[in-house]
């Protein structure tokens, strides 16, 4: 695989609205290098292989995602929860600001 191909330990497809789907990928690190994560630019197309998918991003990235690894780990779950909380908090703040600016 080339330098722009990622092979995550766990992965999910997330729906980002307006028909935009992205790969949320996590890697489990070791003692010295910790866990890591990445979200691609958006899914352009998908090649269905026997035991994995090759997911092409809107940029030049590719993700080789093994079907048996679909899902996330505790690290990924916590990240998604924090991201969701931040988005909801920002949405609620924007909604409140709009409400108060109308008065």
Residue 83 has pLDDT above 90, yes or no: no
Please give the structure tokens belonging to residue 2: 């080339």
Instruction: Yes or no: say if 62 and 3 are a contact pair by the CB < 8 Å rule.
Output: no
Rounded percentage of the chain residues whose pLDDT exceeds 90? 59
Mean pLDDT (whole number) for 44-66: 96
d(CA 98, CA 92): 10
Roughly how many angstroms between the first and final C-alpha of the chain, as a whole number?
A: 58
Please give the structure tokens belonging to residue 74: 């505790």
Q: Which residue has the higher pLDDT, 22 or 96?
A: 22
Residue 103 has pLDDT above 50, yes or no: no
Residue 72 has pLDDT above 90, yes or no: yes
Residue 87 has pLDDT above 90, yes or no: no
Mean pLDDT (whole number) for 55-73: 95
pLDDT of residue 22: 93
d(CA 103, CA 100): 5
């Amino acid at each position: 695989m080339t330098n722009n191909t990622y092979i995550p330990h766990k992965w999910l497809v997330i729906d980002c609205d307006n028909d935009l789907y992205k790969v949320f990928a996590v890697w489990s690190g070791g003692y010295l290098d910790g866990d890591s994560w990445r979200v691609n630019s958006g899914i352009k197309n998908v090649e269905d292989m026997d035991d994995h998918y090759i997911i092409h991003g809107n940029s030049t990235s590719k993700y080789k995602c093994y079907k048996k690894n679909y899902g996330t780990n505790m690290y990924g779950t916590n990240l998604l929860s924090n991201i969701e909380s931040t988005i909801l908090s920002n949405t609620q703040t924007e909604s409140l600001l709009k409400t108060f600016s109308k008065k």
